[in-house]
Amino acid sequence: MRRRIYGFPLGILMCSAAYAQSSVTIYGLIDGGISYVSNQGGHSVTKFDDAIYTPNLLGIEGTEDLGGGTRAIFKLEDQFQLGTGGMLQQGIFGRNAYVGLKNERFGQLTLGNVYDFMSISLTQKGDSPSVFSGGLYSFAAGPFQKLGIPQNATGWFDWSRTSGIPMNNSVKYESPVFAGVSFGALYAPGGVAGSFGSNSAMSFGVNYGAGPFGLGAAYTEKKYPGSSGGSPQIPIRNWGIGAHYVLGAIYMVADIVTVRNLLSGAGAWAAQAGASWHITPAWSLGASYMYMKGNEVLDDNHAHQIGATMNYSLSKRTMVYVEGIYQRANSGAQAAINGIMESSGSSSNASQAIARIGVHTVF
């Protein structure tokens, strides 16, 4: 449940009629629990871990009715670490920070720090199996330590960008829905004098929905700066496609995601399928299977991963859950489940497993 704070009442004489139809919402997600990792750098470990089922978020969003079907909108959102209370990203609102305009007929334009369409068109539209089978641990990582993605916690963390990685300094457009179809585009200028494309990013997405069926596709390319020694830009390219179908209490979903480091040539893809079954209003079960494959630059490494989660809702806001993830890579590779952020997070051998119990709430 979100707490809503509305504009000042008419007793304040300077308020206009527009403010009476404006609102500001404070909202949040909180997830915490205990995880057992079978092999982290050669040793098993039991630890407190948070932001797994969903990220821990604290946000403020607002809207102002400008008339004629147009609204001014904004969002300021921070991700924090539950275990320490510290902020996870740089700045106060490192997860989302934007302002924009939204019109019922013409769509939405936002400016600021936003998600690209690998997250919007796949994950947020319900076309990513990872969401239904354990959250962060279920997104693609794998034995691809040579991917070398800059400004990345491990260099291969969530290489598909589907768990939601913010794109700074962006201009993003999202269309309304036309006959079930919607689309969007994003561009982030690099701001480098004399070189228009340096450090820039672009992203595109398209979605289709018809009753119980949905389909989404996305493309993102981000150019990272080279080293201080003057090395070339490091472009990282992603694309993906996903689909879902709802059959009664069962939500079925599958996707294919890819990554390529255009400087080194390292590339990988992952195919994942899963389902969520609402057994009763309180109980639900989710499961998925994923196959990941790297190219020759990544030593042709590959891995299989399965995951499952059982959830019990204590209320409309709060639930408890247990989940398990197992990854098996090829001989000689180091298995690496997503979301283990320590530098020694990879397994010392070809297998890695995680068991977790947690609590999740929203407000």
Residue 7 has pLDDT above 60, yes or no: no
d(CA 157, CA 54): 16
Mean pLDDT of 156-164: 96
Answer yes or no: are the C-beta atoms of 345 and 358 closer than 8 Å: no
> Could you report the per-residue pLDDT of 53-109, keeping only the tens digit for each?
999 999 999 999 999 999 999 999 999 999 998 888 777 899 999 999 999 999 999
Bridge partners of residue 131, in order along the sequence: none
Domain count, the chain: 1
HSE (side-chain half, CA atoms, 13 Å) at 50: 18
Domain limits at 205?
A: 3-362
Q: What is the CATH number of the domain that holds 283?
A: 2.40.160.10
Q: What is the pLDDT of residue 18?
A: 40
Closest among 90, 86, 75, 78 to 24, alpha carbons compared: 75
Average pLDDT of the chain is 91
Residue 343 has pLDDT above 90, yes or no: no
> Could you report the per-residue pLDDT of 207-257, keeping only the tens digit for each?
999 999 999 999 999 999 876 555 689 999 999 999 999 999 999 999 999
Closest among 319, 327, 287 to 129, alpha carbons compared: 287
Cut 0.85: pTM above it: yes
